[in-house]
Amino acid sequence: MRHLKIYLVHNFLLHSDLALPCSRSIKKITDGNLNHNISIQREEFLDHRLQQNNEEGHNGEIDPTKSIFLNCDYLDYQVSIFVDAVNNKVYYSHSDNAEHYAGYRIINSVIPLFTLLQGGLPLHAASVSLDGKFIGLIAPSRTGKSTLSWQMMQFGALFGSDDVLPLYEIEKKIIGTPSMSLFPKIRESAIDALKLERDNCRQIFPGERQFWVPVPEKDRVMYNSEVSALFFLQPKDIICEKNLIEITKVRPMWAIQILYENAHSLRDARSFIKDGEMFSRVSTICSQIPLYIVRYQKSLGNIENLAKEIWEVTNRS
């Protein structure tokens, strides 16, 4: 592979010929046995290659029963991604103007898929460490979890992850793996509100109003950490009382449903993972760590209060 770049993301070592939104200066961590080598390379005629492989049947290079093909389109960008789970390889192709989008999609799709294949659960969540307690902030895209985690960092929290939080059961503990080198995202509207330096912010790709922001190693969680609590964010545009914040602990059965619904890329991995296996993973997590529903008014002005409330609950858990 030409122009090989090596990144460490969520304990996955990525060997890539595509520039990814990560820092390459962060040291290699071998914390436990989660490190996994993934080779990422561009394939100009990906569709033709896969068709040829399928025609060859089981004599082909790739086993079609243990692989995933994704087509990702956004605005004028087209990206195709093929995950070969047997050989730990990822092939991709993209339209001429879509290199940055390809890097974004590979990080957003490939890491969750390999987490699932390793026996973990990739939550659609941000994460931070508060006074040594590692927590997850679960929420769908564009609901403010990244902005909330940035606010917590301004109070002294360490950055864990931005969009994906891989969880594993190790020695009867639920362990989260931080992103280690991946840049977190933030909306353009929150840059000024949180008083971030615009010169450090890089647009994810042209036309998108989200930006990558580097976080130095000293402000990151750099090791696998036991998870203390999970918070499921439910922002509301209008609620009865201005700036009201409600945080309620969830019963395990409801927690299982919430984690199922917020497992990243689970639909794409259905051919690999049986329902019974996933239920076992999710129920194990719910039986060991508390999950809270957080209802609050969605506004930048309420983020600071929300961060303080979650911090207080975390310290009590």
Contacts of 10 (CB under 8 A, 6+ apart): 111, 115, 161, 164, 166, 177, 178, 179, 180, 182
Last residue of a domain, one of 118, 139, 168: 118
Last residue of a domain, one of 69, 90, 118: 118
Beta strand pairing call for 210-212 and 202-203? antiparallel
Q: Which residue has the tokens 């290199």?
A: 99
Beta-bridge mates of residue 127: 136, 161
66 & 199 share domain: no
Contact by Cβ (8 Å): 10, 120? no
pLDDT in tens, 56-102: 444 455 666 677 888 888 888 899 998 888 888 999 999 888 888 89
Distance (Å, rounded) from C-alpha 89 to C-alpha 84?
5
pLDDT at 247 over 60: yes
Per-residue pLDDT band for 6 (boundaries 50, 70, 90) equals: confident
**Residue 188: CATH number of its domain:** 3.40.50
pLDDT of residue 230: 97
CA dihedral defined by 197, 202, 206, 210, rounded to 10 degrees?
-60
184 & 106 share domain: no
Contacts of 12 (CB under 8 A, 6+ apart): 35, 36, 37, 38, 111, 114
pLDDT in tens, 252-302: 889 999 999 999 988 888 777 877 889 999 999 999 999 999 988 877 778
In 3-state terms, what secondary structure has residue 208? coil
137 & 34 share domain: no
pLDDT at 175 over 90: yes
Print the domain residue range for 132.
122-316
Beta-bridge mates of residue 173: 170
27 & 166 share domain: no
Residue whose C-alpha is closest to residue 173's, from 271, 284, 39: 284
Take residue 228 and report the two structure tokens written for it. Answer: 């203390």
Angle between helices 275-288 and 252-261 (to 10 degrees): 130
CA 226 from centroid of its chain's CA atoms: 17
pLDDT of residue 166: 95
Per-residue pLDDT averaged across 199-214, rounded?
A: 84
- In which order are the strands placed within the sheet that holds 12-16? 5-9, 12-16, 36-42, 89-94, 77-84, 67-74
141 & 111 share domain: no
pLDDT of residue 206: 76
86 & 152 share domain: no
34 & 12 share domain: yes
Q: Write down the pTM of the prediction.
A: 0.89
Per-residue pLDDT averaged across 4-21, rounded?
A: 89
Per-residue pLDDT band for 52 (boundaries 50, 70, 90) equals: low
41 & 145 share domain: no
pLDDT of residue 59: 46
170 & 256 share domain: yes
Angle between helices 145-154 and 300-316 (to 10 degrees): 70
| Count of the separate structural domains present in the chain | 2
239 & 94 share domain: no
Last residue of a domain, one of 118, 141, 176: 118
Distance (Å, rounded) from C-alpha 53 to C-alpha 233?
44
| Average predicted confidence (pLDDT) for the chain | 84
131 & 179 share domain: yes
pLDDT of residue 25: 61
106 & 200 share domain: no
